[in-house]
């Protein structure tokens, strides 16, 4: 099997409602969908969708420039040979793992379709028909956050992520107390600052919420700031934005900096890289999520397939952007929340086939 052509599509994903994090709000995301075409008539889809240009160094136009740089050198390769494909991408371009991730996801999709197996089966087998997820409550007033927490618990969610940061820390502290009063026992909480706290405010917040059980996700901007307060905090620390690749995950684990991860599929480089991270975390019994910062059904399906293969005792769920997006790429097999869980797709490969009318015409083609 050989790759004969690569098409790149732009998909505008307007945000339903308001999604506010410590560094600001987002209202429309530009997703980049990649289609790999082979000489055997099997096609695969991948996607990458940075959540705006300031969440991280990644941005939509950067992904497209990176794809343009790499795509020509991939034509002729067998996409089922992930190692070879990833080495070819490394030889063509340094960095830009989030763009390489779109190709990698599409290659896994082709591999699954070619062998008639789901990606989760190729990754070692799913733990069940559905997987855990968690709901993310954007930065909101203490009253709004408490109301939404109650509502999400009623829907069946058993893990909530409360966005904090980017405002007076007193409001964050009040929010966590109000949410804790609103929920019933059994609900697990994460307080995600998205790098938005100073080490001083992380200490204030953790010590004044010491009786509330939650994990503190990505409290500060750098590993050094987290290291400075790590052993004075009253809460376990998870790393998200700074877990940029396999090496940074190893660094954080080997220095004892964190107790788990919010792990993003495209940031680390796709399914192949996330599989490595999954296995490293397994060796150290570290909990983690398997998700991404945004994206449509293709990214959601890829996250769910990897998430379905993580030991359930340490799996923190796959967050998907579906509740904030109107419609699906694949209306027949959408990836969505159902009663606080996500059904693992059943079709071969990703199990999601985008409606080509929703992708429009390619913005770039290679091969
Ligand atoms: Mg996070």
Q: Give the per-residue pLDDT at 325.
A: 92
**What backbone torsions phi and psi does residue 74 show, to the nearest 5 degrees?**
-95, -15
Q: Is 163 a catalytic residue?
A: yes
Q: Give the per-residue pLDDT at 19.
A: 79
- In the reported structure, the alpha carbon of residue 39 is separated from the centroid of ligand 1 by a whole-number distance in angstroms of 40
Distance separating the N- and C-terminal Cα atoms of the chain: 15
Q: Average pLDDT over the chain, rounded to whole? A: 96
Domains with residue ranges and CATH for the chain: 3-116+354-362 (3.30.390.10), 121-343 (3.20.20.120)
pLDDT category at 205 given cuts 50, 70, 90 is: very high
How far apart CA 183 and CA 126 sit, in angstroms, is 30
pLDDT in tens, 225-263: 999 999 999 999 999 999 999 999 999 999 999 999 999
Work out the average pLDDT over 313-340: 94
DSSP letter (8 states) at residue 72: G
Say whether pLDDT at 300 is over 90. Answer: yes
- In the reported structure, the alpha carbon of residue 119 is separated from the centroid of ligand 1 by a whole-number distance in angstroms of 25
Q: Is 174 exposed, middle or buried (0-12, 13-18, 19+ CB in 10 A)?
A: middle
- In the reported structure, the alpha carbon of residue 99 is separated from the centroid of ligand 1 by a whole-number distance in angstroms of 20
**What backbone torsions phi and psi does residue 147 show, to the nearest 5 degrees?**
-65, -45
pLDDT category at 52 given cuts 50, 70, 90 is: confident
Q: Give the per-residue pLDDT at 104.
A: 98
Say how many C-beta atoms besides its own lie within 10 A of residue 126's C-beta.
Answer: 18
- Could you say which of 163, 184, 343, 358 is catalytic? 163
214 closest CA partner among 239, 190, 233, 186:
190
Which 3 state secondary structure label does DSSP give 126?
coil
Residue 3 contacts residue 36 (beta carbons within 8 Å): yes
- In the reported structure, the alpha carbon of residue 1 is separated from the centroid of ligand 1 by a whole-number distance in angstroms of 38
pTM: 0.95
Q: Give the per-residue pLDDT at 54.
A: 83
What does the block give as tokens for 293?
Answer: 């910062």
- In the reported structure, the alpha carbon of residue 192 is separated from the centroid of ligand 1 by a whole-number distance in angstroms of 6
- In the reported structure, the alpha carbon of residue 242 is separated from the centroid of ligand 1 by a whole-number distance in angstroms of 10
pLDDT category at 18 given cuts 50, 70, 90 is: confident
Q: Give the per-residue pLDDT at 20.
A: 79
How far apart CA 180 and CA 210 sit, in angstroms, is 12
Work out the average pLDDT over 80-98: 97
Q: Give the per-residue pLDDT at 155.
A: 92
Angle at 132 between CA 160 and CA 356, to 5 degrees: 105
Say whether pLDDT at 271 is over 80. Answer: yes
363 closest CA partner among 50, 12, 13:
12
Which residues are within 5 Å of ligand 1 (an ion), measured at CB? 192, 217, 240, 262
pLDDT in tens, 163-194: 999 999 999 999 999 999 999 998 999 999 99
Q: Give the per-residue pLDDT at 286.
A: 98
pLDDT category at 208 given cuts 50, 70, 90 is: very high
Work out the average pLDDT over 262-277: 98
How far apart CA 362 and CA 90 sit, in angstroms, is 24
What does the block give as tokens for 189?
Answer: 């909480």
- Could you say which of 100, 113, 184, 264 is catalytic? 264
Work out the average pLDDT over 56-66: 95
Q: Which residues contact 15 (CB under 8 A, 6 or more apart)?
A: 26, 27, 28, 29, 324, 325
DSSP states of 142-175: HHHHHHHHHHHHHHT--EEEEE--SS-HHHHHHH
pLDDT in tens, 280-296: 999 999 999 999 989 99
- Token look-up 């790759």 returns 3
Quick one: CA dihedral 169, 175, 176, 177, positive or negative? positive
pLDDT in tens, 95-138: 999 999 999 999 999 999 999 999 999 999 999 999 999 999 99
Percent of the chain with pLDDT strictly greater than 70:
100
- In the reported structure, the alpha carbon of residue 238 is separated from the centroid of ligand 1 by a whole-number distance in angstroms of 9
Work out the average pLDDT over 327-335: 95
- In the reported structure, the alpha carbon of residue 218 is separated from the centroid of ligand 1 by a whole-number distance in angstroms of 7
- In the reported structure, the alpha carbon of residue 241 is separated from the centroid of ligand 1 by a whole-number distance in angstroms of 7
**What backbone torsions phi and psi does residue 332 show, to the nearest 5 degrees?**
-80, -30
Q: Give the per-residue pLDDT at 179.
A: 98
Say how many C-beta atoms besides its own lie within 10 A of residue 231's C-beta.
Answer: 7
pLDDT in tens, 315-326: 999 999 999 998
Q: Is 100 a catalytic residue?
A: no
Q: Give the per-residue pLDDT at 360.
A: 96
- Alpha carbon of 286 to those of 254, 263, 282, 319: distances in Å? 12, 12, 6, 18
């Amino acid at each position: 099997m050989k790759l004969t052509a690569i098409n790149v599509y732009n998909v505008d994903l307007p945000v339903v409602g308001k999604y506010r994090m410590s560094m600001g709000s987002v209202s429309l995301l530009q997703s980049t969908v990649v289609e790999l075409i082979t000489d055997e008539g099997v096609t695969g889809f991948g996607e990458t969708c940075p959540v705006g240009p300031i969440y991280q160094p990644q941005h939509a136009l950067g992904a497209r420039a990176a794809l343009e740089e790499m795509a020509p050198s991939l034509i002729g390769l067998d996409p089922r040979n992930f190692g070879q494909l990833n080495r070819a991408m490394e030889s063509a371009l340094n960095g830009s793992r989030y763009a390489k991730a779109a190709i990698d996801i599409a290659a896994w999709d082709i591999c699954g379709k070619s062998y008639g197996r789901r990606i989760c089966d190729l990754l070692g087998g799913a733990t069940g028909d559905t997987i855990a997820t968690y709901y993310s409550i954007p930065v909101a007033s203490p009253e709004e956050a408490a109301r939404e927490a109650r509502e999400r618990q009623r829907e069946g969610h058993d893990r909530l992520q409360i966005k904090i940061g980017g405002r007076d820390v007193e409001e964050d502290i009040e929010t966590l107390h109000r949410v804790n009063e609103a929920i019933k026992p059994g609900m697990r909480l994460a307080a995600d600052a998205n790098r938005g706290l100073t080490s001083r405010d992380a200490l204030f917040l953790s010590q004044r919420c010491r009786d509330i059980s939650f994990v503190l996700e990505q409290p500060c901007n750098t590993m050094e700031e987290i290291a400075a307060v790590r052993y004075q905090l009253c809460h376990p620390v998870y790393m998200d934005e700074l877990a940029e690749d396999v090496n940074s995950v190893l660094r954080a684990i080997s220095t004892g900096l964190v107790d788990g991860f919010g792990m993003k599929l495209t940031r680390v480089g796709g399914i192949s890289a996330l599989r490595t991270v999954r296995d490293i975390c397994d060796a150290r019994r570290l909990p983690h999520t398997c998700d991404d910062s945004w994206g449509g059904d293709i990214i959601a399906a890829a996250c769910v397939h990897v998430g379905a293969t993580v030991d359930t005792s340490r799996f923190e769920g796959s967050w998907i952007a579906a509740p904030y997006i109107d419609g699906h790429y694949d209306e027949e097999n959408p990836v969505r929340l159902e009663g606080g869980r996500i059904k693992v797709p059943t079709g071969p490969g990703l199990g999601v086939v985008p409606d080509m009318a929703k992708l429009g015409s390619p913005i770039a083609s290679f091969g």
